[in-house]
Structure 1
Amino acid sequence: MLGASGGDYMNFKLAFGPLVAFWLVFLTTVWHAGNAASLQICARYLLAPFYDPGCHPPETGIKLIAIVIMLCILYLNHRSVTSSVRAEILFASAKFLAMAVIAAVGLFHLIKGRSAGVHNFRHAFDDDQLSQLAFTDIARAFHVGLFPFHGWTVLNNVTEEIVYM
């Protein structure tokens, strides 16, 4: 682990110099538009149980809930780094627990021989299926596969604060 905080910026600065590190920070500000989309998706999921299956929550409500979530995260980060690190650990643990439950249920259905589990994997790697894949399908698969591991760089962002926990 690096002895200085700064996350990816410090990693790139040590490896490639300050110019590359600056461009990394500059470009990641553009990538944070994805965080706004993630907040809106989270707000949509939070509001969905309160509406009938055919009805969609209003966009204004979704955006207001997303803003409230963002303000709660900002307050938590402002309050103390220790509490934000604990929240990060809590959410990461919940994420891994959810993935373990999904994997266990899927394995249970495969072992039991349920038709849905067996049917989905019967022709998974046939040549005709692979030849129909587009580049966007492969990119989407990587994105979905790596999404649960987002946040692994947070450890380098708070290195100095972890020492004092």
Structure 2
Amino acid sequence: MESGAQRLNLKREVGLIGAVSFIAGTMIGSGIFISPQYVLSTIGSPGASLLVWACSGLIAMLGGLCYAELGTVISESGGEYIYMLRTAGRVVAFMFVFSFVAVMRPASATGIALSCAEYVVAPFFDGGTPPQVLVKCIAAVLILVLANVNCLSVRLATGIQVVSMVIKVLALLVIVLGGVAMVFQGNTDNFDVSFEGTNVGVSSIGIAFYQGLWSYDGWNTLNYLTEELKDPEVSLVPR
């Protein structure tokens, strides 16, 4: 009891496997399947494209390590909102969470849902462009279904996250192994002129990094449910 009111405590139902699946499942989204072509076309060469991906991964890793430490120091759910609330005050925290809820998160969820919906309807329109109304309706249904799942049960949401992560990892493995097989078959022409045609303009580099970082987006999501982790010190910062 605090000031005559009972404090709401969230159920700690997310273990280490669920936590890893939550981050991996969030990071391995539509971005990694869509962004590579835009990174390559924007930066202009395979070598520079790989460099952009490596640097983007390094930035995401450093950000993830910082958030892991923050999550153990301030062991409350809410992510950036709670960190701003505890350090910068209510006004800054409110401004952030308002823009996050009203603009940033809906825009991100909409983009991911539309990408997923396009893949869902593509097999039914072989060689043609599916109606945008249909794509948008399916995207809206996906958002509503997943929102309800997260509201109804943490365990169910975690289970779906684990299954989706496994499916996406398997899909990536098929792509990676296919690329490795092509290299062993002698398709190495792109490596002979790795950096030929690289666009060194500020806008090209910026857009390429934007696409790369968008694919890595999600490394901070576990901090939104810190209070639901069974053992935050283990799940956030494995020793």
Judge same fold: TM > 0.5, yes or no: yes
Segments of 4+ moved more than 6 angstroms: none
- 1:78 partnered with 2:148: no
Residues 103/43 of structure 1: CA separation in 2 closer, same or farther (3 Å cut): same
Identify the residue that residue 132 of structure 2 maps to in structure 1.
Answer: 59
Measured in 1, the distance between the counterparts of 2:205 and 2:171 equals 24
Residues 1:92 and 2:165 aligned together? yes
Change in Cα spacing, 1:27 to 1:122, as seen in structure 2 (3 Å) is farther
Instruction: Say which structure, 1 or 2, has more relative contact order (CA 8 Å, 6+ apart).
Output: 2
> What are structure 1's unaligned runs of at least 5 residues?
none
Q: Is the 8 A contact 2:114 2:139 kept in 1?
A: yes
- Letter of the structure 2 residue corresponding to residue 125 of structure 1: F
- Would the aligned equivalents of 1:82 and 1:161 in 2 still touch at CA under 8 Å? no
Are the equivalent residues in 1 in contact too, given 2:109–2:143 (CA < 8 A)? Answer: no
Cα distance between partner residues in 1 of 2:139 and 2:96: 27
* CA offset digits 1:31-73 (Å, max 9, x no partner): 23232122122111110110120x2111111111111111111
Distance change (3 Å), C-alpha of 1:134 and 1:85: farther
Scaled by the length of structure 1, the TM-score of the pair is 0.78
Alpha-carbon shift at residue 156 of structure 1 (Å): 1.3
Question: How many residues of Structure 1 are paired with residues of Structure 2 in the alignment?
Answer: 157
Q: Aligned residues: percent identity?
A: 32
CA distance in 1, matches of 2:215, 2:162: 14
Aligned residue identity for 1:52? D
In structure 2, the CA distance between the partners of 1:135 and 1:101, relative to structure 1 (3 Å rule), is farther
Calculate the TM-score normalised by the size of structure 2.
0.57
* 2:94 is the counterpart of 1:22: yes
Q: For each residue in 1:62-104, what CA deviation from the matched residue of structure 2 results, as whole angstroms up to 9, or x when unmatched? A: 1111111111111111211222233233333433333333222
Correspondent of 2:120 among 31, 46, 53: 46
Q: Pairwise mapping of residues 1-165 of structure 1 onto structure 2 (< 5 A)?
A: 1-2=71-72, 3-28=75-100, 29-31=102-104, 32-53=106-127, 55-114=128-187, 118-126=188-196, 129-130=197-198, 132-163=199-230
Contact kept? 1:95, 1:148, Cα under 8 Å: no
Query: Letter of the aligned partner of 1:120 in structure 2?
Result: N
Opposite residue 93 of structure 2, the aligned amino acid is A
* SS at structure 1 position matched to 2:83: helix
Gaps spanning 5+ residues in structure 2: where?
1-70, 232-239
